[in-house]
């Protein structure tokens, strides 16, 4: 190789090295120049880390959709469960306290971000069918926050704490889901609660109430509709816009008949009463169920077993109407009248007792008195029937109420 060629090659190598160095320098310079801008554009509050979750859990005001709850609300399921490894490194006491407050945070997020047609939150894996008077009108997605809350309970290290906290959470949130008629999520809740608590009488009451609802005419109409639709092929449901009405039933793998639903509900109510014989609501519901099945003697037996003492207003009304219906079916018209009249004093604007009294007096051949019963009470024309008649919500509400149980859950976590 000549000296000229050697010099030329050396020159090329220098040019290449210079170019590479210059290029690398330019890249580094541009990154360094851009770094402050990138840091400035990254909002500190947007970091989805364990520490940001802890900050939200410890400073969230229970019962409010505050800034902390709003910040955690859009987290995905993967981002939520990513807190578990660092959570497990905390001491047992610290971990239990964080989880107890965390359950309130995620329950508040779910409750306060839900309207009649679904959650304004990242979707979970499940769906629910929206009903209007027993007919399917749309679908809604579940939310990851309920699923995460159930998993969070399993991270409580101490068994006694897990049972105590789990009982409060599952009873309160279960009552909320039952009030909404959100049966798919309630079904998952009840199954998860059973793993933590075993057979809890209140959760058995909730499950029995759900099966009792399945035996009702609106749910059976829905089941019949879906059976017929499945015979014609798969059905695609539309999603309702925000704010649309509707209730949400479970869509079981099979559609239980009235008889099957009543049998399941009876078993659950009896199991709840075997654990807690003083659970008056379970006994009233059992009597109602037996009466609806034509077993009026058995219903009367359960009503006689009610614990003595003053019942809460809702249960007093419920028991009075069931007693009146049972007595009327057994031909005990004076007892039926007394029970209907008592129900009318508990909720003066409720139509059901007056209608019962009107029907009773008509059956006794007293048409004038029957008519007088229908006009003897006044209701606000602005009120919808469901606002003045608790019987419309018998399959949704409990005593204590969902609001009372959630208030207790929030207060316990705030201490």
Q: Can you give the chain as a three-state secondary structure string?
A: CCHHHHHHHHHHHHHHHHHHHHHHHHHHHHHHHHHHHHHHHCCHHHCCCHHHHHHHHHHCCCCCCCHHHHHHCCCCHHHHHCCHHHHCCCCHHHHHHHHHHHHHHHHHHHHHCEECCEECCCEEEEEEEEEECCEEEEEEEEEHHHHHHHHHHCCCCCHHHHHHHHHHHHHHHHHHHHHHCCHHHHHHHHHHHHHHHCCCHHHHHHHHHHHHHHCCHHHHHHHHHHHHHHHHCCCCCCECCCCCCCECCCCCCCCCCHHHHHHHHHHHHHHHHHHCCCCHHHHHHHHHHHHHCCCHHHHHHHHHCCCCCCCCHHHHHHHHHHHHHHHHHCCCHHHHHHHHHHHHHHCCCCHHHHHHHHHHHHHCCCHHHHHHHHHCCCCCCCCCHHHHCHHHHCCCCCCCCHHHHHHHHHHHHHC
CB 323 within 8 A of CB 306: no
CA-to-CA distance for 202 and 208, rounded, in angstroms?
A: 10
Instruction: Judge whether residue 33 has pLDDT over 50.
Output: no
> Per-residue pLDDT for 242 more than 90?
no
Contact present, 62 and 410 (Cβ < 8 Å): yes
Torsion of CA 103, 109, 110, 111, to 10 degrees: 100
> Looking at residue 274, what is its pLDDT?
98
Asked whether the predicted pLDDT for residue 379 surpasses 60, the reply is no
Q: What pLDDT does 377 receive?
A: 59
Q: How far apart are CA 313 and CA 309, in angstroms?
A: 12
For helices 351-363 and 367-375, the axis angle rounded to 10 degrees is 170
Average pLDDT over residues 245-266: 75
φ, ψ of residue 199 in degrees (nearest 5): -80, 95
Mean pLDDT of the chain: 83
What's the pTM?
Answer: 0.82
State the distance between the two ends of the chain, measured CA to CA, in whole angstroms. 88
Q: Answer whether residue 319 shows pLDDT above 70.
A: yes
pLDDT at 288 over 90: yes
Closest by Cα among 323, 331, 336 to 288: 323
pLDDT score of 18 more than 70: no
Which percentage of the chain shows pLDDT scores above 90? 63
Beta bridge partners of 119: 114
Which sign, positive or negative, has the C-alpha torsion 389, 392, 393, 394?
A: positive
317-323: long-range contacts, CB 8 A cutoff, minimum separation 24: 317/343, 317/346, 317/347, 317/350, 317/390, 318/281, 318/284, 318/288, 318/390, 318/391, 318/394, 319/280, 319/284, 320/346, 320/353, 321/352, 321/353, 321/356, 321/391, 322/284, 322/287, 322/288, 322/291
Q: Would you place residue 233 in the very low, low, confident or very high pLDDT band (cuts 50, 70, 90)? A: low
Half-sphere exposure of 281 (CA within 13 A, CB side): 21
Q: What is the pLDDT of residues 112-164, one digit of tens each?
A: 999 888 899 988 877 888 777 777 777 888 999 999 999 999 999 989 999 99
Cα 33 to Cα 18, 23, 27, 368: the distances in Å are 22, 15, 10, 92
The better pLDDT of the pair 182, 5 is held by: 182
- In this prediction, residue 225 has a pLDDT band, given cuts at 50, 70 and 90, of confident
CA angle 138, 140, 141 (to 5 degrees): 150
What average pLDDT does this structure show over 276-290? 97
pLDDT at position 309 over 80: no
Residue-wise pLDDT for 36-73, tens only, equals 322 223 334 468 999 999 999 999 999 999 999 999 99
> Does residue 187 surpass a pLDDT of 90?
yes
Q: What is the pLDDT of residues 320-361, one digit of tens each?
A: 999 999 999 999 999 999 999 999 999 998 999 999 988 888
């Amino acid at each position: 190789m000549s000296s000229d060629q050697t010099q030329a090659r050396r020159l090329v190598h220098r040019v290449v090295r210079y170019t590479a160095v210059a290029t690398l320098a330019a890249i580094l310079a541009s990154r360094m120049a851009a770094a402050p801008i990138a840091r400035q554009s990254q909002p500190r509050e947007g970091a989805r880390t364990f520490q940001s979750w802890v900050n939200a859990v410890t400073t969230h005001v229970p019962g409010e959709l505050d800034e902390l709850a709003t910040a955690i609300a859009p987290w995905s399921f993967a981002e939520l469960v990513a807190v578990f490894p660092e959570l497990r490194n905390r001491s047992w006491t610290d971990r239990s306290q964080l989880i107890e407050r965390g359950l309130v945070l995620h329950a508040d997020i779910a409750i306060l971000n839900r309207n009649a047609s679904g959650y304004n939150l990242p979707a979970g894996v499940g769906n629910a069918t929206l009903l209007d008077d027993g007919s399917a009108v749309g679908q809604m997605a579940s939310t990851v926050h309920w699923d995460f809350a159930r998993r969070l309970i399993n991270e409580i290290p101490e068994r006694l704490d897990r049972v105590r906290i789990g009982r409060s959470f599952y009873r309160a949130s279960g009552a909320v889901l039952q009030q909404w008629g959100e049966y798919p999520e309630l079904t998952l809740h009840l199954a998860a609660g059973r793993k933590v608590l075993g057979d809890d009488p209140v959760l058995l009451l909730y499950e029995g109430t759900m099966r009792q609802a399945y035996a009702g005419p609106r749910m059976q109409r829905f089941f019949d509709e879906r059976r017929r639709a499945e015979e014609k092929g798969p059905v695609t449901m539309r999603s309702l816009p925000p704010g649309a009405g509707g209730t949400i039933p479970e869509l079981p793998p099979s559609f239980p008949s009235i008889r099957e639903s009543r049998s399941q509900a009876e078993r659950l109510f009896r199991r709840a009463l075997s654990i807690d014989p003083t659970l008056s609501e379970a006994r009233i519901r059992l009597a109602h169920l037996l009466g609806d099945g034509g077993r009026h003697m058995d219903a009367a037996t359960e009503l006689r077993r009610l614990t003595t003492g003053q019942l809460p207003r809702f249960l007093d009304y419920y028991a009075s109407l069931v007693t009146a219906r049972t007595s009327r079916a057994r031909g005990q018209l004076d007892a039926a009248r007394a029970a209907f009249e008592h129900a009318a004093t508990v909720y003066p604007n409720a139509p059901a007792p007056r209608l019962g009294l009107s029907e009773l007096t008509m059956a006794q051949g007293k048409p004038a008195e029957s008519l007088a019963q229908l006009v003897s009470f006044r209701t606000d024309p602005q009120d919808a029937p469901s606002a003045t008649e608790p019987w419309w919500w018998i399959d949704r509400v409990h005593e204590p109420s969902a609001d009372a149980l959630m208030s207790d859950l929030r207060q316990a976590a705030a201490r």
